[in-house]
Structure 1
């Protein structure tokens, strides 16, 4: 098996270099923006530049490894290693000039995530974890929060890109939880939400219809920080609830209350 500390060092270096590209182009007047699955599912020239940098770095350093990246899909090879990349999570924020977006890099070995890196370049926050070696933000160990009551919690969530055409769009859950919590945040970057739950900055998070690149790094960081995850297998894509052991169950129970009211 690879020396994971060495691999982590590389992944952090790539994330910082990509962060420079993103900072240099942030709020650029002539930023090229296109759409993907829907009119609100954006991709910018910076997404592509960021992905190109990371893919080139992986191929130069680990040429036999498989890669799954948001913009270019899966590049299959016969390898026990799979990189899962979101070169710019929070593209809508980026395109809008909102400084909340991250680079997310994860490495799986035999289907188990062993490295997770999430870097927020405008905030200079580096979240990282190696399987079994705790989780860190900017070199300091992080842990999930200790709150046990929803009315003391600030949670995060988000909405799928097809929310206008699919009623399973999280709006009912969001409305139900608004009066039950201290605050609800819609940060616009799933990886950053998970990282903040891992650091105890947010108390919990749920979202529907996510993709592997949205969560691969964040879930490892969360779990290494003592967090728990409950999956919603009846939902589309990857749908989950995250938090500490108590709060994750309380959020899940509230979602089930909403489900029980459906006709």
Structure 2
């Protein structure tokens, strides 16, 4: 199993850097179109999704794939990769350098390995989280190979909390931290994992937005809370996840859940 995890990390590192190099050349140069759900897509999104899918099929023949730009149906496979080829397409098309490639590896429907690469920031986040899967292997969360951990600080006006564009109603009430808006679901929550912010909320993320970061946040000591009171994982075989959103709150430690959840739980009711 140890060799397997080494292969998984090497694969994720290699494919995201290769795809990321091409995406950098397209950065800020492509026009986006709207998909049926209103989100943006470019030919670069579709190319990257296809390249990663083909690479998975060549390296891990028995693994399934669920991608933002390909199949949205969770396959009947013990192992499955979930791909977000460009998380932050709006930033990508508008010349904002915060966007990434996100991969989550699921075992029996639940993520156990996550990898997110932000090419223009030269940041690679990854982590391992086995839960009650019975799997064993490397542990922890990392940024560019160095261990990361969530902050142990208490909230204050010198600390940060991340919102998404659909959660700004939070601003109508007093809030214990300064607010930031990143525009990339994965990076919004990864900043909790590396201790930069104390929490973050996403109102309408899809499964490919959170599959990879779900692992990394928890491996770093954070808490991932569904705001609609429904478990996200394990995913169900044969279900179409193309339109389902998973409103969620991420905080740096359990003790902060009572502080932040009442302020953002309306997000799960919209």
Quick check: TM above 0.5? Answer: yes
Q: Distance in 2 between matches of 1:153 and 1:83?
A: 34
Offset of residue 7 of structure 1: 1.0
Q: Distance in 2 between matches of 1:210 and 1:4?
A: 27
2:168 corresponds to which of 164, 167, 171: 171
**1:238-258 deviation line (CA, Å, top 9, x unaligned):** 1111112233331102235x6
2:201 corresponds to which of 201, 206, 213: 206
Q: Distance in 1 between matches of 2:214 and 2:28?
A: 30
Q: Is the 8 A contact 1:152 1:181 kept in 2?
A: no
Where do 4+ consecutive residues of structure 1 move more than 4 Å?
A: none
Residues matched between the structures, number: 245
Q: Distance in 2 between matches of 1:53 and 1:145?
A: 36
Structure 1 unmatched ranges of 5 or more: 160-168
1:228 corresponds to which of 220, 223, 231: 223
> Scaled by the length of structure 2, what TM-score is found?
0.84
Q: Is the 8 A contact 1:14 1:54 kept in 2?
A: yes
Residue range with higher mean Cα deviation, 200-209 or 247-256: 247-256
> Scaled by the length of structure 1, what TM-score is found?
0.86
Offset of residue 85 of structure 1: 0.6
Q: Distance in 1 between matches of 2:6 and 2:258?
A: 33
Q: Is the 8 A contact 2:167 2:201 kept in 1?
A: no
Change (3 A) 1:237 1:174: farther
**1:207-234 deviation line (CA, Å, top 9, x unaligned):** 1121110001111000000001221125
Offset of residue 37 of structure 1: 2.9
